[in-house]
Amino acid sequence: MTTIKRTRVRRGMLPLAVLAVLAAGCGTEHPGDTGDAARRSHPTPTQLSTPSTPVDFPCPGESPTPTPPPTAGTSGAAASGDRYAENHGFRVPFPLHGQRRCDGLAAVGRIEAALEPLRKRGDFAPEHTRSALTGLGYPAGKVRAYEHGPTGVGFLVEVDASPLCVEGTMNRDSTRADTFGGYPDHSGCETPSGGH
């Protein structure tokens, strides 16, 4: 009989102890208390530093002030309420920053230099463009060349698997190429054909 009474008393003490702890400490701190000093020395998640935007620096052969990264309005990012842009955001490629950006600009320079003799001759055959690009050492499976308009050729090269991609066009007037870091919804350099 004695053990039954002790169990009942112990069960009844737990809610009473919880209530005493809550009544004693909750909500009693005021500005200037020692708790304030603890909060200042241990920041809340909103006070912690957030990841910063990657820093771009001048790449070899580039002017000392790098071009500013595209703003939200020019990068294809969706404005609030713009459902079309929001639903097609998977087609907006990742920009390159830092050393990856320099690597991309160097690849663009090599590719444009390799294609310039073709452009000067007026040779816009996709197979010749592809041959010139694979001649730079890019694997054949990572190089695409295709007709682009009546007198031009387009190309896409997956420079490395990170991915670092170079895409561009060549016509009578110029050879233009740009570099990017793939797409949000898949790996590789091919423009995604479907979204979420």
Higher local confidence (pLDDT), 188 or 54: 188
| Residue 171 within a domain | yes
- Mean pLDDT highest for which of 12-16, 78-82, 176-180? 176-180
pLDDT in tens, 112-156: 999 999 999 999 999 999 999 999 999 999 999 999 988 999 999
| Residue 96 within a domain | yes
Domain that holds residue 126: 85-180
Angle at 179 between CA 155 and CA 99, to 5 degrees: 145
pTM of the model: 0.63
State the amino acid at position 111 in one-letter form: I
Total domains, the chain: 1
3 state SS for 164-182 = EEEEEEEECCCEEEEEECC
| Residue 19 within a domain | no
